[in-house]
Amino acid sequence: MKVRLNLATKPLVTHRRFLVGSAVIAGVAGIVFLALGWHVWAARSAQSKMLARIEEIRVETADLEARRAKLEKFFGQPENAKLSDRAAFLNSIIDESSFSWTQMFMDLERVKTGGVRLLSVSPKMVKGNMEVKLKVGATSDEAKLKFLRALEGSRSFGKVVLLSNQVGTQPGGDQQVFELSVVYTRA
Amino acid sequence: MSETVTFRKGIYQNELVRKATMWLNASPHPPLAIEIATDRIAGARLSRTGGLDGFAVEPLPPGALTPSAVETNIINIVAVKSAFESVCSRLRARNEDVAILLPDPVIRVFVQHFDEFPRSPQEAIPMLKWKLKKSVPFEVDETLISYMRQAPREGGVDVVTALGRLRIIREYEALAEHLGLTAGVVLSSSLAAVSLLDDRRPTLLARVSDTALTTAIVRDGVLCGYRCTELPAKGAALTPQMLLEEIYPVAAYYQDTWQEGIKGVRVAGLGSRLPEFVRPLEDEFHCDVRSLLHTAVSEGWLSDEARPLADRELEGLVGWMLQRK
């Protein structure tokens, strides 16, 4: 065993605690410094990459803008404008002719609830979207609401707008007759 | 408070933490050490690696030094100064720190148990002074005090306290200061020699120096008991019975307190008379009784470099040398 007693009037003091404490603090400070340095380096590196990417995108955007302007100028010429309108017209015809009535009726069948019947369906291509006008007869308010909710919840139909609503007068006929505009998204 | 104590006890159970704490709290160890006894002054210079760089021994004329905790120690100042100077000169001591190992009677040592003991020295030292004021034959105001905590047997804290009278310690320190040295460590020879004991089992040290007998018991790094007494005779007049009568109270105290017997006895200072004392001590304690230094040498505790010190029975210096390792 070691005896740690000292009766000197001016006792020698060990500096081990101080030295070890200083070394530990210096070590921790060093580790923190390295961690922060690495973090700063990583942040700067990421920032410079991002700036390079932004510059690339900016150049790409400027190039696309130039090409767009060039194309607009090209299509702005009278002879090309006619050609453009004709192409748009032909495209709309092609789109309408490729519309699948069978698919749309199958989708309507899925959303149609009890007490509701379709009176007329008229699809029309508007700005690239297939807008469908529906005339529907319902036996009650509740049946009408169920159908509207089913349409709104359907993935195949969107932008449901109620255009008109009439209350039926004929006994035994539909109590509610209403017109709807929906966008058929699977066209 | 109790949570902190429990936490500390918990972490100190870890061997690594205990070793690290001991290393951090280790006493400073100047390479130059001077051991002062009634018949001689011996010095040793240790190398950076803890080996022996050199040593010197100078005899003192009879009566030049009278170790005492109370009265003036240095009677023949010229002889003592001359011997001290000669030792320092041979060890090329100059403007440096020195450890001075004093005769055991100069320093009083107490092992006390406390249920609660303050951690800060500012609180602990006044408390120890107050506790020990009736145990020392001089005023508390002129007392130098040093203490160390050690692991308790059960709850609480065991504290080893060393006390010395200021003007007596200053007598010895002045010898060093006269030569431009600074006495950075002052300890008794037996306290330094305690490090030569194998404390893996309860071991008793009986060290005779002139008429002083120091008895100490160590166990698992703990100083369990310490007593320095005056023998009724010295040299050839000392009988085994006299020695036993002085050793017995410490051994009995240990057996009563720690509920176990002494497992080894190490004796120092009897020189060639040791064989006369072995059998009576063995009969009393029922364990092996051997020379402190011979055991340390035979068990390989001492390096070959320390052999010259061991051959001259300078157990204080040898113990001091071992404390560095």
| B33 contacts: CB under 8 Å, gap ≥ 6 | B43, B44, B46, B98, B99, B100, B101, B317, B320, B321
Q: Which helix (H) or strand (E) holds B252?
A: helix B240-258
Number of Cβ pairs < 8 A linking chain A and chain B: 92
pLDDT band at A76 (very low <50, low <70, confident <90, very high): confident
- pLDDT confidence of residue B13: 66
Chain A CB contacts of B207 under 8 Å are none
CA pair distance A144, A133, nearest whole angstrom: 16
A91 and A101 Cβ atoms separated by less than 8 Å: no
Is the CB of B187 less than 8 angstroms away from the CB of A11?
A: no
Q: Is A8 part of the contact surface with chain B (CB cutoff 8 Å)?
A: yes
* Chain A residue with Cα closest to B321: A2
With contacts defined as CB-CB under 8 Å, which chain A residues touch B148?
Answer: 3-5
Q: Is the per-residue pLDDT at A56 higher than 80?
A: yes
Nearest to A6 among B146, B163, B218 (CB): B146
Tell me: pLDDT of A187 over 80.
no
Q: Cβ–Cβ of B195/A20 closer than 8 Å?
A: no
- Count the alpha carbons within 13 Å of B325 in the hemisphere toward its beta carbon: 17
Helix (H) or strand (E) holding B79, with range, is helix B77-90
Ramachandran sector of residue B95 (left: φ over 0; alpha: ψ -120 to 50; beta: rest):
left
Residue of B nearest to A10 (CA): B184
* Tokens (6 digits) for A53: 């990417």
Q: Which residues contact B79 (CB under 8 A, 6 or more apart)?
A: B60, B61, B64
Within 8 A of A2 by CB-CB distance, chain B residues are: 22, 26-27, 195, 323
pLDDT value at position B74? 96
Kindly determine whether residue B195 and residue A1, on different chains, have CB atoms separated by under 8 Å. Answer: yes
Say whether A4 and B166 touch across the interface (CB within 8 A).
no
Does A22 contact B at CB distance below 8 Å?
A: no
In sequence order, the 6+-apart residues with CB closer than 8 A to the CB of B277 are B240, B243, B267, B270, B289
For β-strands B52-59 and B32-36, DSSP reports them as unpaired
CB distance B92 to B84 below 8 Å: no
Q: Which two tokens stand for residue A159?
A: 């932008």
For residues B265 and B204, is the Cβ–Cβ distance under 8 A? yes
The string of pLDDT tens digits covering residues A114-170 is: 889 999 999 888 877 889 999 999 988 899 999 999 999 988 898 999 999 888 777
In chain A, the percentage of residues whose pLDDT exceeds 70 is 99
- ipTM (interface predicted TM): 0.89
Candidates A4, A13, A20, partner chain B, best to mutate (most B CBs within 10 A)? A4
List CB contacts (< 8 A) between B173 and chain A: 8-9
Neighbour count for residue B198 (Cβ, 10 Å)? 15
Name which of B245, B249, B275, B271 is nearest B262 in CA terms: B249
CA–CA distance, A28 with A30 (Å, rounded to integer): 5
Low-confidence ranges of chain B (pLDDT < 50): 1-2
Q: Does A127 touch chain B (CB under 8 A)?
A: no
Q: How far apart, in whole angstroms, are the C-alpha atoms of residue A148 and residue A161?
A: 9
pLDDT at position B1? 43
H and E: helices and strands count for chain A:
4, 4
With a CB-CB cutoff of 8 Å, which residues 243-282 of chain B face chain A? none
Whether A6 and chain B come into contact, CB under 8 Å, resolves to yes
Per-residue confidence (pLDDT) for residue B134, from 0 to 100? 84
pLDDT digit string (tens) for B32-88? Answer: 999 999 999 999 999 888 888 999 999 999 999 999 999 999 999 999 999 999 999
What are the chain B neighbours of A14 within 8 Å (beta carbons)?
24-28
